[in-house]
A and B are shown apart, each in its own frame.
Chain A
């Protein structure tokens, strides 16, 4: 049930950003989510549609950009993309000494708002 507080946070952050810029209607929100931040999925749009009713962000579309996570193999020095469940072995050499980096991003990159000339 963590989707609700997370969706509220997305909505509040987007509304605050719009209000800092003249309070224009928000048409979409660009979110950057790391592959290992497993706490967001499609259900967030559903929650968002409910929570955003009557706000500047009503009917805004959430656009997710997934940031990949990369594993580095200390045995063969190769890098390869990973997601949970993480592999126990390097796909290239079978090495088990791996280091995973990235994939924990979780932020709002931008919002798309209506131009001033557009009607509301």
Chain B
């Protein structure tokens, strides 16, 4: 006898992610989930962004890694609250890990929470964490074919950052080809070129990010009990 189920396989994770979102909304924390392959510059992008945040936007960071706390130490050296999650071989963060990590952060002192996911272009896209923004970082040395090979990741992005833009020529990176690959699966996500090393493009990225953060703050001000900020913020 066949019983209909029709339930998303990651439904349990999605439920906890929604709980996380409610926790963050209550504390008025805007959450960005940063995904990329290893070495694309997730930590560098977060550090470069932290440096440029205006005074009124207080950051916090959750660092996901297979092992080690190298990245967390870099963040902590800036005096920013940080929690390291070691997945012990797990290739992505999930909502339970974020719930546990959030409990170790001083949430009332945070306005903008970065979650640095495990370096991987496949499964992090499938696991909701309770974020407002999915940021995918690509980089020149990886090559311009990544959106074609990992469409699921680029389809999940709210914004795509193409890092190491100072090296585009060295790696004969075809930005138009890359852009078409992103637009094919995701016509809404803007593609921003930047170099964390030189600072090129950082101003535009900061402006975009702070606009979204501002929209979130406005949304929080009008949220009624039980409503979630995720989905209420329109995609530019």
Known A38-B122, A86-B151; contact A2-B92, beta-carbon cutoff 8 A: yes
Assess whether B8 is interfacial by the CB under 8 Å rule: yes
0 or 1 for each of B1-15: is its CB under 8 Å from A? (1 = yes): 111111111111100
Give the distance to chain B from A35, nearest Cβ to Cβ, in Å: 9
Give the distance to chain A from B11, nearest Cβ to Cβ, in Å: 7
Assess whether B71 is interfacial by the CB under 8 Å rule: no
Contact between A86 and B10 (Cβ–Cβ < 8 Å)? no
Chain B residues with Cβ below 8 Å from A97 are 180
Contact between A99 and B1 (Cβ–Cβ < 8 Å)? no
Assess whether B74 is interfacial by the CB under 8 Å rule: no
- A10-B7 Cα distance, complex, nearest whole Å: 10
Contact between A108 and B1 (Cβ–Cβ < 8 Å)? no
B1, B147, B149, B185: which contacts A115 (Cβ < 8 A)? B1
Give the distance to chain A from B166, nearest Cβ to Cβ, in Å: 25
Assess whether B38 is interfacial by the CB under 8 Å rule: no
Give the distance to chain A from B57, nearest Cβ to Cβ, in Å: 33
Contact between A86 and B126 (Cβ–Cβ < 8 Å)? no
Contact between A99 and B184 (Cβ–Cβ < 8 Å)? yes
Contact between A108 and B6 (Cβ–Cβ < 8 Å)? yes
Known A5-B94, A37-B126; contact A17-B3, beta-carbon cutoff 8 A: yes
For this complex, into which size category does the number of interface residues on chain B fall? 35 or more
B2, B4, B91, B148: which contacts A2 (Cβ < 8 A)? B91
Known A17-B3, A38-B122, A100-B151; contact A86-B9, beta-carbon cutoff 8 A: no
Contact between B123 and A104 (Cβ–Cβ < 8 Å)? no
Chain A residues with Cβ below 8 Å from B92 are 2
Known A21-B3, A86-B184; contact A39-B148, beta-carbon cutoff 8 A: no
- A107-B73 Cα distance, complex, nearest whole Å: 39
Contact between B13 and A9 (Cβ–Cβ < 8 Å)? yes
Chain B residues with Cβ below 8 Å from A88 are 148, 177, 180-181
Known A86-B185, A99-B187; contact A109-B151, beta-carbon cutoff 8 A: no
- A16-B152 Cα distance, complex, nearest whole Å: 28
Residue of B nearest to A112 (CB): B2
Chain B residues with Cβ below 8 Å from A111 are 2-3, 5
A interface list, Cβ under 8 A from B: 1-2, 5-6, 9-10, 12-14, 17-18, 21, 24, 30-31, 36-39, 71, 84-88, 96-100, 104, 106-115
For this complex, 8 residue pairs linking A to B, each with C-beta atoms less than 8 Å apart, are A1-B90, A13-B12, A18-B3, A39-B126, A98-B184, A106-B10, A109-B6, A110-B3
B interface list, Cβ under 8 A from A: 1-13, 89-92, 94, 122-123, 126, 145, 147-152, 155, 177, 180-181, 183-185, 187
